[in-house]
Amino acid sequence: MSERGAATAEMVMTFPFVMVLILLVVQFGVWQHAVHIAETAAAEALAVVRAHGGSTGAGQAKASSLLSQMGRSVLRSPQVSVSRTADAARVEITGVAQAVVPFLELPVGSVAVGPVERFRGDQ
């Protein structure tokens, strides 16, 4: 019995599997990049919010500005939540990583928390 064309048949069977694996690796890279963008924006916004005289509005503006500059194509539908109490500040950024693999939506989230700076005169 001849095995002519067996290699072609094997290639036709394995090629889609290999392509899906490659796309999954690329998807992981895009997701990781989106997480990094969310973490950076949260940290920068937290620095603005927790500074002496900082506000939640200033933190929200900083996060939105950074997300529009860095993550426009990678981090989709970003949501920014900023809160500040007398003692602590918190910034949370959530969204979805851009899909490379169809129908695969990976969530992205980052939370940054820190104490609020307060001026204390000479004690």
pLDDT digits (tens, 9 = 90+) for 53-75: 889 999 999 999 999 998 778 99
Name residue 88's beta-bridge partners. Answer: 115
Does 59 reside within a domain? yes
Q: What is the band of 119 on the pLDDT scale with cuts at 50, 70, 90? A: confident
Does 70 reside within a domain? yes
pLDDT digits (tens, 9 = 90+) for 32-41: 999 999 999 9
Name 43's Cβ contacts closer than 8 Å, sequence gap at least 6.
Answer: 112
Q: How many domains is the chain built from?
A: 1
Does 22 reside within a domain? yes
Does 80 reside within a domain? yes
Weakest-pLDDT range from 42-46, 59-63, 100-104? 100-104
Range of the domain at 31: 14-115
Q: Do the beta carbons of residue 56 and residue 38 sit within 8 Å?
A: no
Q: What is the band of 19 on the pLDDT scale with cuts at 50, 70, 90? A: very high
Does 30 reside within a domain? yes
Does 4 reside within a domain? no
List the strands of the sheet with 88-97, edge to edge. Answer: 75-84, 88-97, 107-115
pTM of the model: 0.83
Weakest-pLDDT range from 3-7, 42-46, 68-72, 95-99? 3-7
Q: What is the band of 76 on the pLDDT scale with cuts at 50, 70, 90? A: very high
The mean pLDDT value of the chain amounts to: 90
One-letter amino acid identity for 96?
V
Written as six digits, the tokens of 29 are 């890279």
